[in-house]
Copies of this chain bind each other. A is one copy, B any other.
Amino acid sequence: MSTIGDVAKRAGVSAMTVSRVINNSGYISQETRERVEQAIAELGYVPNALARSLRFKRTKTIALILTDITNPFFTTLARGIEDAASEQGFSVIFCNTDESQDEEAEYLSVVVQKQVDGVLLVPASSSSESVTFLRDRGVPCVLLDRRLPGAAVDTVRGDSEAGAYQLTRHLLDLGHRRIALLNGPSSVSTAEDRLAGYRRALDEAGLSSAASVYEGSYTVEGGYRTAKQMLAAAPRPTAVFAANNFIAIGALRVLREAGLRVPDNLSLVAFDDLPTTMMIDPFFTVIGQPAYEMGQRATQLLLEHLAGQSPAEPQEIVLPAQLIVRRSSGPPPAEI
């Protein structure tokens, strides 16, 4: 790859003159400009952003560290982020931690070495280590989807508490009294908040003691496992609240294996919707989160920060979640 020096030599000028042409700065005679431009074209010269970044201390690159791009919620989030970033000329490095704190730390170290201008982070656990690491090194950070208790950081997330409340209320309104929550790991704020919303709804209905919570992971296997436990309980719940879409799928498998039909024998509702582009047959009653918008907002916030236009106070943007009633929820079966 040719350098600015190669171009300079070919055009018979100094490197500085080439730099001026490229950046349209300072004075350049029309004739010289043309000679330089021709040399650039002939050599297929592309400026080295590394060298530039080394001088300016900005790379126009941000890191997106999430747990698993394969989760459609995060896929949509990532798309919102990339769109907002590229619009402002930023590139996005993406990393999957698989909910591992170690992976997260490893990725953070790498991207800080690569001098990313900022980090968008879906924290794997409730530890504030990552945020501290970034703050110590002066790398701006916006948290996505999950709060970090006690950390003063910009955060953009959905309203898990209110969403879970709505979803539970929906089931209560249908007449359910035994509602099981198949939750994610309690170390993750969304799981905590969804539990809180669930409890609030039950409390309001005077059913605090009827709460039945199974903690697992936000995966199909997690849902499968906790749903199995749940089915073993007597009396069996009449409705199941899966704390995310994967858990719902795992739970549905268990129900099918047990010969139970949804919603006739049991209602099954979940947090997180599937994009309409992949829905064959909208079936699950869900709480949908504005994932794309969440990504956009978080990116905008981060980029404002980088541009120095942001308020000093850390901001927390909580986007509303929306109840979408479909066919997986109905009244409880008549008691026998």
Contacts and interface: CB of A to CB of B under 8 A. Distances in A.
Interface of A: 1, 44, 46-51, 53-54, 59, 61, 68-70, 72, 75-76, 78-79, 82-83, 86, 89, 91-96, 107, 109-115, 133, 136-138, 220, 245-246, 249, 252, 274-281, 283-284
Contacts of A50: 50, 53-54, 59, 114-115
30 contacts: A46-B113, A48-B113, A48-B115, A49-B113, A49-B114, A50-B50, A50-B53, A50-B59, A50-B114, A51-B54, A54-B54, A69-B69, A69-B78, A69-B79, A70-B275, A79-B96, A82-B94, A82-B95, A86-B95, A89-B110, A91-B110, A91-B114, A92-B94, A93-B93, A93-B94, A249-B278, A249-B279, A274-B278, A280-B284, A281-B283
Nearest to A51: B54
Contacts of A110: 89, 91
Contacts of A115: 48-50
A70 B277 contact: yes
A249 B324 CA distance: 20
Nearest to A94: B94
A309 to B, nearest CB: 22
CB-based closest 8 A-B pairs: A49-B113, A49-B114, A44-B136, A50-B54, A91-B93, A75-B75, A70-B79, A50-B115
Given A78-B94, A220-B277, 13 more contacts: A44-B137, A50-B54, A51-B54, A59-B114, A69-B78, A70-B76, A91-B93, A91-B110, A91-B111, A91-B114, A93-B93, A93-B94, A280-B283
A113 B72 CA distance: 31
Given A249-B277, A249-B278, A83 B70 contact: no
Contacts of A47: 113
A202 to B, nearest CB: 27
B112 A277 contact: no
A94 B61 CA distance: 11
Contact of A70 (B53, B75, B86): B75
Contacts of A46: 109, 112-113, 137
Contacts of A68: 79
B69 A1 contact: no
A114 B92 CA distance: 12
